[in-house]
């Protein structure tokens, strides 16, 4: 039985409008699984996150770049009250260094042989909204790229993108949540012809010169233990998170103050 009902697709929705929708996202699920005491709080955009947004726009929506982003004339633009540096037109400003990194990273993705094949057909930044049947919670997902037979999520990182390093990122940042969450929504809304699309992550190391790209698929159907695949195990974690989110949406998310006083040891290297 599908967990999804009343799903609908919105194309061309600005990212800010999508993020403003009050619904369960893969990010909230990952945060709940990571630390319940900090989940549900607004996340302040870091320079790394903004750089990732710019690279996404350059690859997936290049026609919007000049309207939303710009390179600053000075070395480091001043930040406004919202913590973002903007020009007189409201465009988000980047240092010349970060702008050149974004351009190089976007070019690396677009010219990578695997990414080039995926990006040859399909559509970018597809927003989907639905209701989760067991919990009744409103849900959402925004897929970077939906091709005829493949879903792609672009990841920007300062880490190496070899297989061992990306395997660590999959675990540390719980990328598998997106694999399952986006895949389920896409199959219900975009692939009604019975196609089961692959889900791949294309990770670009923005600090490498030139930027390096690696594209990977998580082996969800591999056996975790006898009689249990990684897909089944991970869906169990998502179900667990959804139950907690339903409770917190009615009772209120924990506050940071609820952590209380915590005891820590001196670092092992201290003398």
Q: Is the pLDDT of residue 166 over 90?
A: yes
**Domain enclosing residue 213, as ranges:** 4-251
Side-chain-facing half-sphere of 118: CA atoms under 13 Å: 26
Between 96-110, 185-199, 247-261, the lowest mean confidence (pLDDT) is in: 247-261
As a whole number, mean pLDDT of residues 62-83 equals 84
Between 142-146, 164-168, 214-218, 259-263, the lowest mean confidence (pLDDT) is in: 259-263
Q: What is the pLDDT of residue 40?
A: 78
Please indicate, yes or no, if residue 74 is contained in any of the structural domains.
yes
Between 140-154, 199-213, 250-264, the lowest mean confidence (pLDDT) is in: 250-264
Please indicate, yes or no, if residue 261 is contained in any of the structural domains.
no
- The single residue listed with the structure tokens 């909230």 is 28
Q: Is the pLDDT of residue 259 over 90?
A: no
Query: What is the token pair recorded at 268?
Result: 């092992």
As a whole number, mean pLDDT of residues 176-189 equals 96
**CATH code, domain with 64:** 3.90.320.10
Please indicate, yes or no, if residue 156 is contained in any of the structural domains.
yes
Please indicate, yes or no, if residue 262 is contained in any of the structural domains.
no
Please indicate, yes or no, if residue 267 is contained in any of the structural domains.
no
Q: SS3 of 67, please?
A: helix
Q: If you average pLDDT over every residue of the chain, what do you get?
A: 92
Q: Is the pLDDT of residue 256 over 70?
A: no
Q: Is the pLDDT of residue 42 over 80?
A: no
Q: What percent of the chain has pLDDT over 70?
A: 96
Please indicate, yes or no, if residue 215 is contained in any of the structural domains.
yes
Q: Is the pLDDT of residue 1 over 70?
A: no
pLDDT band at 267; cut points 50, 70, 90: confident
Please indicate, yes or no, if residue 258 is contained in any of the structural domains.
no
pLDDT band at 260; cut points 50, 70, 90: low
Q: Radius of gyration over alpha carbons of the chain, in Å? A: 20
Number of domains comprising the chain? 1
Please indicate, yes or no, if residue 187 is contained in any of the structural domains.
yes
pLDDT band at 75; cut points 50, 70, 90: low
Question: Under 8 Å CB-to-CB from 221, ≥6 apart: which residues?
Answer: 229, 230, 231
């Amino acid at each position: 039985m599908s967990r999804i009902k009343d799903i609908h697709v919105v194309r061309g929705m600005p990212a800010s409008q999508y993020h403003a929708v009050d619904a369960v996202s893969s990010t909230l699920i990952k945060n709940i699984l990571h630390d319940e005491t900090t989940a549900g709080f607004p996340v302040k955009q870091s320079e790394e996150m903004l750089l990732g947004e710019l690279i996404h726009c350059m690859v997936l929506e290049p026609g919007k770049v000049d309207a939303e982003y710009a390179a600053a004339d000075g070395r480091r633009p001043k930040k406004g009250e919202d913590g973002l540096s903007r020009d007189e037109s409201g465009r988000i400003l980047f240092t010349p260094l970060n702008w050149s990194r974004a351009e190089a990273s976007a070019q690396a993705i677009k010219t990578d042989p695997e990414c080039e094949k995926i990006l040859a057909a399909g559509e970018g930044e597809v927003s989907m909204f639905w209701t989760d049947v067991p919990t009744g919670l409103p849900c959402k997902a925004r897929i970077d790229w939906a091709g005829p037979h493949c879903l792609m999520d672009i990841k920007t990182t300062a880490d190496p993108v070899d297989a061992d390093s990306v395997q660590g990122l999959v675990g540390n940042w719980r990328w598998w949540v997106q694999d399952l969450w986006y895949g389920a929504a896409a199959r219900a809304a975009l692939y009604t012809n019975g196609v089961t699309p692959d889900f791949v992550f294309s990770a670009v190391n923005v600090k490498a010169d030139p930027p390096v790209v690696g594209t990977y698929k998580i082996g969800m159907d591999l056996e975790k233990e006898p009689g249990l695949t990684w897909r089944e195990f991970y869906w169990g974690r998502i179900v667990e998170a959804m139950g907690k989110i339903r409770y917190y949406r009615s009772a209120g998310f924990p506050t940071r103050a609820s952590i209380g006083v915590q005891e820590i040891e001196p670092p092992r290297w201290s003398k």
